[in-house]
Amino acid sequence: MIGRKCQQGIKARPLILVAEDVPRNLEIVCNILRKEDYRIAAASNGRQVLEMIPLLQPDLILMDVMMPELDGFEVCAQIKQNKATRDIPIIFLTAKTETTDIVNGFDIGAVDYVTKPFNGTELLSRVKTHLELKFSRETLADLLATRDKFFSIIAHDLRDPLQFLILAADTLYNQYDTVDEEKKKDYIRRFFNCSTQISQLLENLLEWSMSQRGIIKYRPEKLNISQLVHENIELIKERAQKKNISISSYIGDEITAFADKNMINVVIRNLITNGVKFSYPGGEVKIDGIMNDTCVEISVTDSGIGMSAEDAAQLFRVDRNRSGIGTDNEKGSGLGLILCRDFVERNNGMIDVTSEPEKGTCFRFVLPRYK
């Protein structure tokens, strides 16, 4: 796992898929793109393009109009009809300069075209422009989703536990003598859960707000990951013991990363807390780490309720993420995992998750190794 992630690159460069059936033209385009150090993938016909897109998820497509099997117009139309791929910008490579062909390309969703023979400066300029536009749109979409997420948290995730605390406190105050002992104990347990939920939520909201406003400064240093993990285990241990869940670290002292301590503390704390939340009583949350010449990979694994692949794919998306209910009816906003992604990426790392219903979940994040 760690080898694959390090090969992918930390904060990967933009990936451009070039679709061209003439080898000499393909070579020319790729040589031009290499001047800007883009990652490049190549396809020689339209069907290959459609097969490669789900696997590669390119940032931009440079596509010849005249290709075997499916021409560029047909491929573009299919890409734009698919919700998962329609936002990928497509620039046509064409020897045609007739107005009708150019208009047809724009009508089906292309953003631009470049005529053959290629002018390297022009091609790079158009590629750069449309990559910047794509990333700007994604940033704007994230900002809007962030705003909606914030209002959702305020409207729902804080309101629900606060309403319970108010109603339950009112019941105990006015009807204390008529409430049986078991009910009182249940109220106290739920008081603890709600108070913990509110405390975690406010802490994450504060961190998230500072991150969004750029107040949190990135200050990388040598981090002993084992020490950070054990400090966070101590903070979470009492909560885990209430559910009879053990937390075990198998990280050696030699595992060192180059990252911001405060940010990675937030990541580790949220992932361990998440593991405790979704583990069944008697379960275990395990933290492990491995290191190679360039990267450190940390994993946090539980054997809890797990989730489907579809749900796992949404966990780090601020516009779709919704946290599930823990095994002791713990609720959450899902904001902690959004923070994890944000902080890991700000430390030139990457994070992902694998899970299976009723078999548990494993979060892995990669950071640069301290050298």
Domain co-membership, 370 together with 229: yes
Q: How confident is the model at residue 272 (pLDDT cuts 50, 70, 90)?
A: very high
Q: Do residue 11 and residue 96 come from a single domain?
A: yes
Q: How far is CA 67 from the centre of its chain?
A: 35
Measure the CA–CA gap between 371 and 368, rounded to whole angstroms: 9
pLDDT digit string (tens) for 4-31?
455 444 446 899 999 999 999 999 999 9
Do 267 and 325 belong to one domain?
yes
pLDDT of residue 10: 45
Clarify whether residues 165 and 125 are in a common domain. no
Rounded to whole angstroms, what are the CA distances from 139 to 101, 145, 151, 271?
32, 10, 19, 25
31-40, 158-167, 217-226, 315-324: lowest mean pLDDT where? 315-324
Domain count, the chain: 3
Q: Does residue 267 share a domain with residue 193? A: no
- By the 10 Å C-beta count (0-12 exposed, 13-18 middle, 19+ buried), 139 is classed as exposed
User: What are the phi and psi torsion angles at 349 (to 5°)?
Assistant: -120, -170
Single out the residue in 216, 233, 259 at which a domain terminates.
216
Q: Looking at residue 8, what is its pLDDT?
A: 46
Q: Both ends of the chain: CA-CA distance in Å?
A: 21
Q: What is the total residue count of the chain?
A: 371
The pLDDT, as a whole number, for residue 164 is 81
pLDDT-derived band at 336 (thresholds 50, 70, 90) equals: confident
Q: Residue 177: inside a domain, yes or no?
A: yes
pLDDT of 9: 42
Decide if pLDDT at 322 tops 70.
no
Is residue 172 within 8 Å of residue 187, measured between CB atoms? Answer: yes
Mean pLDDT (the chain) is 85
pLDDT at position 312: 82
Type of residue at 360? G
Range ranked top by mean pLDDT from 144-148, 195-199, 295-299: 295-299
Same-domain pairing of 241 and 212? no
* Same domain for 211 and 229: no
Q: Which two tokens stand for residue 123?
A: 């091609």
Q: Considering the domain boundaries, does residue 334 fall inside one?
A: yes
CATH code for position 277: 3.30.565.10
Q: What is the pLDDT of residue 99?
A: 60
Q: What is the mean pLDDT of residues 217-243?
A: 89
One domain for residues 209 and 286? no
The span from the CA of 267 to the CA of 297, in Å, is: 13
One domain for residues 359 and 224: yes
Averaged pLDDT, 83-109:
83
Q: Any alpha helices (H) in 243-308, and if so which ranges?
A: 261-278
Q: Is residue 31 part of a domain?
A: yes
| Amino acid 133: pLDDT | 93
Residue 229 forms part of a structural domain: yes
- In whole angstroms, what is the distance from residue 91 CA to residue 72 CA? 10
Range of the domain at 350: 218-371
How far is it, in rounded angstroms, from Cα 109 to Cα 233? 52
The CATH number given to whatever domain includes residue 64 is 3.40.50.2300
> Both 181 and 119 in a single domain?
no
Structure tokens at 89: 């910008």
pLDDT of residue 370: 87
235-259 confidence digits (pLDDT tens): 888 888 889 999 999 999 999 999 9
- 110 domain-assigned: yes
Distances (CA, A) of 174 to 171, 187, 296: 5, 14, 56
pLDDT at 263: 87
Give the whole-number percent of the chain exceeding pLDDT 90: 41
- Could you tell me which residues are beta bridge partners of residue 288? 299
